[in-house]
Structure 1
Amino acid sequence: MTDTSGDRVAALTAAVADHVRSLRQARGWSLDELAGRSGVSKGMVVQIEGARSNPSIGTLNRIADAFGVTVARLLEPSTERTVQIIDADRTPVLWEGPQGGLGRILRGLSDLGSVVELWEWRLAPGEEHDSSDHNPRTREVLHIIAGEVIVTVAGEEHRVRAGQVIDFRADRAHAYRNGGSEPARFLMVVVMPADEWDRRSGQPPGREPRPH
């Protein structure tokens, strides 16, 4: 998790610590149980809950998946407003590329029967972000606004250009790479079941594997 403001990073780190601790305790889970369900080491969970770690986007995704909530839920206090207007440049930047690219989570919702996240991504030429598998039955939809993005899903590459949309299952390894010579920008919607996910079993509780 990265941001240009040290104070904002500290505030986000504290928010993550509070949310992870409260979500874990509300479920009656031990530190070992959360570590097992998420695939994040117990030592890292302890660091996160103690606000002594600045977790990566991958770590936040795994913990959010375990709880069945959005990454945004871990970062921001819950509110009950009917309408919210948020400055996009004040939302958390969770990934920064070596050439200035970024991945920013604009909004997350967990109260619609599904978990929905809205992201903005910018990739400089040659930059790439790799992502591990998400909660089973998760889908991602990318709208390429500028440039060209090569989306790799389960080892297969798909070249997507400005003005195009790609929809794919994200419960398998995937990656985004700027395969062109110009900066690329895209919006991404992530939709996943609002289920806790125990990575040790590979399936959400109470769900049988579905044929693919």
Structure 2
Amino acid sequence: MDIDALIAKRVRDLRKVRGYTLDELADSSGVSRSMISLIERQETSPTAVVLNKLADALGVTLAALLSGEPQSVQEQPLARLSDQQVWKDPASGYVRRHVSPSGFASPLELVEVIFPPGESVAFENVVRNVVTHQQVWVLEGEMEVIVGETAWQLDTGDCLAMVLDQRIVFLNSSRKQARYAVALTTFPSNSRRT
């Protein structure tokens, strides 16, 4: 299944499982009803910002939204490189690879991101339905991450931990791409852990 078909299916399936109409998901996410409909019909490629808003409203992480459903009922603890879902943000051009095995019961998700030079991505909304802890480990290059009002300059080897409960901006103002790993885990919103 290609990535746009996967996104369309995941958004539609999660919306139906949660019992949301298009209007209810639009109200909950801040994404227009028409945009959600276009995404579900594979008539547009949503940006990372739009997908993040939908993931929040659906109570899943962006990584989980892009990871798809297990291919079989049997859990597989290995995710071969060729089987890992890859998605490119049409707005910034960043490439996101879901590294964790799909369908394997684990509280931890791993993602690899290749972030083009001169780009930025801002996640404005606060995760409402789940508390997500995230760590960003820069594998190559440099970038800036702004969490709330605090800006962090990250170089190769640096790792930044955060809770996704405020505005976060990723900036690559350098002339070279940055490559980083993201590790994240979620908890129900009523069991906040710090």
The question of a shared fold, defined as TM-score above 0.5 by the shorter chain, is answered with yes
Q: Which moved more, 1:172-181 or 1:54-63?
A: 172-181
TM-score, normalised on structure 2?
0.77
Contact 2:114 2:180 in 1 (8 A): yes
Using a 3 Å threshold, how does the CA distance of structure 1 residues 30 and 111 change in structure 2: closer, same or farther?
A: farther
State the secondary structure of the residue aligned to 2:89.
strand
Equivalent residue for 1:23, pick from 2, 6, 14: 14
Q: C-alpha displacement at 1:95, in angstroms?
A: 2.2
Residue matched to 1:36: 27
Segments of 4+ moved more than 6 angstroms: none
Residue matched to 2:127: 135
Bigger radius of gyration: 1
CA distance in 1, matches of 2:157, 2:32: 41
State the secondary structure of the residue aligned to 1:190.
strand
Contact 2:76 2:103 in 1 (8 A): no
Equivalent residue for 1:84, pick from 78, 83, 93: 78
Listed one character per residue, the Cα deviations across residues 16-60 of structure 1 (whole Å, up to 9, x for unaligned) are 222222222223222111111222111112112222221111121
Q: C-alpha displacement at 1:167, in angstroms?
A: 0.8
Residue matched to 1:4: none
Equivalent residue for 1:52, pick from 30, 35, 43: 43
State the secondary structure of the residue aligned to 2:36.
helix
RMSD: 3.1
Q: C-alpha displacement at 1:68, in angstroms?
A: 1.7
Listed one character per residue, the Cα deviations across residues 122-176 of structure 1 (whole Å, up to 9, x for unaligned) are 3344332222234153222111112222111113211122122111222211112
Unaligned ranges ≥5, structure 2: none
Equivalent residue for 1:167, pick from 152, 157, 161: 161
Contact 1:135 1:171 in 2 (8 A): yes
Listed one character per residue, the Cα deviations across residues 153-200 of structure 1 (whole Å, up to 9, x for unaligned) are 11321112212211122221111223445442211123333x5xxxxx
TM-score, normalised on structure 1?
0.71
Residue matched to 2:94: 102
Contact 1:106 1:119 in 2 (8 A): yes
Corresponding pairs, count: 187
Equivalent residue for 2:186, pick from 192, 203, 207: 192
Residue matched to 2:110: 118
Whichever residue aligns with residue 92 of structure 1, its letter is V
CA distance in 2, matches of 1:54, 1:147: 28
Whichever residue aligns with residue 135 of structure 2, its letter is V
Whichever residue aligns with residue 184 of structure 1, its letter is A
Contact 2:139 2:157 in 1 (8 A): yes
What is the aligned-residue identity percentage? 28
CA distance in 1, matches of 2:83, 2:76: 22
Listed one character per residue, the Cα deviations across residues 39-95 of structure 1 (whole Å, up to 9, x for unaligned) are 211111211222222111112122122222243444423234232322169532232
